[in-house]
Amino acid sequence: MAVISHELGRLLQSTGRLQEAEEAFRRSREIYEKLAVEFPTVIRHRVELATNYSTQGISLMNTGRLAEAEDAFRRAMEINEKLISENPSVPRYRMGLVMTSSWFASLLNKTKQLDEQEKVARRALEIQEQLVSEFPAVAFYRHGLGVMYNNMGFMLNEANRLDEAVDAYRRSYEIGEKLAAENPSMVSYQASLGVLSANFGKLLNQTNQVGEAEEVYRQGLEVMEKLVSENPSVAYYRDILGSVHSNLGLLLKQTGRPQDAEEAFRQSVAIGEKLIDENPSNDTYQARQAVHLKRLGSMLEEADKPEEAAECYLGGLKLCEKLAGDFPNVPVYQEIAVNIRKDIDRLAWYLATCADPNCRDPVQAVELAERTVEGAPEEASFWTTLGVARYRTGRWQDAIEALQKSMELSSGGSSSEFFFLAMANWQLGHQDEARRWYDQAVNWMEQNQPNNDELGRFRAEAAPPLGISDLPTPNGKEVVPVEKE
């Protein structure tokens, strides 16, 4: 009965019926606890009890009940450690502790118990090293060791201990590379090497080891393209391939190869689009696609393709806003949305204020700015962009309202708002109000950013209608008044 309840719990967990799964695990655990007390010499009952606690911990962690999950993992760890001390030569008990440790370390990371997380992770690594030393021919143990080093690299990277993280990732990658070469038909080892290439390559690039990073990425592409070709229906392999393309795109962008970078980003977006079409409820694929779209949008923005860039940014934002609503306890989805809104705001500002009027697109600037304000109405800078964009489209009163909202949120404002308030008021015939805002803008600029070229352009644009011609020459350059549009 205990076995049936536990397996039922696993099935319910895999189908997302987490409350029912928890109840099944509870029934199974109660039976095993009773059996462990009644038959203390039967080790199997304690092994199953430890497995039950560990599985329950995963379920509780996934539903955000972290304190209960921590208690379950600690019970599992305690049982596993005792089994190892009583039976040090039995590999299965050590593997049980390693698997539980991996999940427990993940939970400790979530709860910011970082010192204990490292202690747990290093204990798991120590056990896995022992297993590989005792059974060097067992590929499964070597693969597990590679996973442990990968996890250690991730943890050290998060702690900004980059040199140690590189060493851990390198060890993981070397193990994975060797396993993949020795077992070419073992697809799990090939896929694992693809994941490792994405992680290791990213850190190498981050630590300015660009040449090696590109080699690692390209090896990952070669491995994953072959896997995808041979297994086109396996979504997981395509997901890894998309991530490697995207990470390589960043490297190519940073090293001055924009066309190659754009192509890499387009590859990742195309893969992500198909994955979402086939798996519309998979939040991981949606989040990954939002990042791919953000990166492609940034590349297109730099390539002076604002319409395509806007399309990418808006697509990524739509995905993230939905994810943030569906999964409010997953902060990374909201963080991605916040970053994309900043990208959209930057693009909208460019389209509204570009020094070359031929590059402006005020209508699209308004559309983009309205989108950012809709998602983050408390962000003052977004209202500034909306106000300026509205001014460019001739919506003077609407511009004033947006700019005043920005100043209200920022408890003051700057010349960016003040110059456009001056121009909008002048357009409405409020001459005295326009001059007051212009004088305030000049005063703020001279006190805070006297050599800001952009503010200098706004000043030159605002001055002529007010009859002001005596303009300064910032940075030694003559300021030419701009005719009103």
Contacts of 245 by beta carbon, 8 Å cutoff, 6+ apart: 221, 264, 265, 267, 268, 271
| Other CB atoms within 10 Å distance of the CB of residue 245 | 26
| Residue 167 backbone dihedrals phi, psi, to 5 degrees | -60, -45
Handedness of CA 352, 358, 364, 368 (dihedral sign): negative
Check if the beta carbon of residue 351 is closer than 8 Å to that of residue 365. Answer: yes
Whether the pTM exceeds 0.85: the reply is no
Report CA dihedral (291, 294, 296, 300) to the nearest 10 degrees.
-170
Check if the beta carbon of residue 4 is closer than 8 Å to that of residue 31. Answer: no
Q: 3-class DSSP state for residue 478?
A: coil
Sequence-separated contacts (24+) of 222-228 with Cβ below 8 Å: 223/180, 223/190, 223/193, 223/194, 223/197, 224/190, 224/191, 224/194, 226/190, 227/187, 227/190, 227/191, 227/194
Least Cα distance to 167 among 135, 125, 108, 131 occurs for 125
> What is the chain's pLDDT, residue by residue, as a tens digit (485 residues)?
555 665 666 676 667 676 777 777 677 777 777 777 778 778 888 888 898 889 889 888 887 889 999 999 999 999 999 999 999 999 999 999 999 999 999 999 989 999 999 999 999 999 999 999 999 999 999 999 999 999 999 999 999 999 999 999 999 999 999 999 999 999 999 999 999 999 999 999 999 999 999 999 999 999 999 999 999 999 999 999 999 999 999 999 999 999 999 999 999 999 999 999 999 999 999 999 999 999 999 999 999 999 999 999 999 999 999 999 998 878 899 999 999 999 999 999 999 999 999 999 999 999 999 999 999 999 999 999 999 999 999 999 999 999 999 999 998 999 999 999 999 999 999 999 999 999 999 999 999 999 999 999 999 999 998 888 756 654 444 443 333 33
Check if the beta carbon of residue 119 is closer than 8 Å to that of residue 135. Answer: no
Least Cα distance to 372 among 308, 296, 295, 310 occurs for 310
Which domains can be identified in the chain, with CATH numbers?
1-135 (1.25.40.10), 414-485 (1.25.40)
Least Cα distance to 190 among 242, 157, 231 occurs for 231
